[in-house]
Each structure stands twice: as C-alpha cells, then as structure tokens.
Structure 1
Amino acid sequence: MKNLIWVIAIILLIGWAVGFFGFGQAVGSFIHILLVLAIIAIIYRLITSSKK
C-alpha cells in the first residue's frame, strides 16, 4: 500500500510535467490539480512512514 502511494505520486508528477511542458495552457488548471495531488500523496507517505 505504501509503495502504491509513491507510484501514484510519481505518475501524477510525470503527468503534470508532460501536460505542462507538452501542452502548455491547453489543459489549463487540470495540470496544477495533478501537481497538488502528487504533493499531497508524497506528504501523506512521509507522515505515515514516520509513525512506525
């Protein structure tokens, strides 16, 4: 489960980078939503891993 969060975060970051650099303003704020979700996933992973 914890590795899955990393995978999701990486996929979201890659999707953001491809959308941002590949399509520019064509997709608009959807790209930034992907970035925010990726950051939330990374922060969640860091918080839950420190509780061990």
Structure 2
Amino acid sequence: MIKWAIIFAVIGLIAGALGFSGIAGASMGIAQFLFWAAIIIAVVLFLLGVTIFKKVT
C-alpha cells in the first residue's frame, strides 16, 4: 500500500510540475489517504500481534 502511495505522490508531483493542478491535487490526496491507511493498518496489526503473542506464550 505504501508503494501505491509513493506512485500517486510521484504522479502528483509530475502533474504539478506540468501544470495540471486538478490531477496533481487529486493524486496527492489519494497518496495521502493511502499512506495514512497503511500506517493505521500496520499499527493495528502490530497491536494485535503483541496481544496474541502474549496469550500464546
């Protein structure tokens, strides 16, 4: 998911440099959403892993 966030950020930067402000803004918005979604999912999985690990051992 982070890979897609980086791809959309690069697309947004290129579109912004070429003057396509609408596409650049939308692409950066998607990149920001994907980045934060990946961070939240990673934190939730980390917390679940820590709690399950304590229950198993």
Per the TM superposition, whether the score is higher than 0.5 is yes
5+ long unaligned stretches in structure 2: 46-57
Calculate the TM-score normalised by the size of structure 1. Answer: 0.78
How many pairs does the alignment contain? 45
- Indicate the structure (1 or 2) with the bigger Cα radius of gyration: 2
Calculate the TM-score normalised by the size of structure 2. Answer: 0.72
Higher RCO (CA 8 Å, separation ≥ 6 residues): 1
Query: Percent identity at matched positions?
Result: 13
Q: Structure 1 stretches (4+) deviating beyond 4 angstroms?
A: none
5+ long unaligned stretches in structure 1: none
Q: What RMSD, in angstroms, separates the aligned Cα atoms of the two structures?
A: 0.9
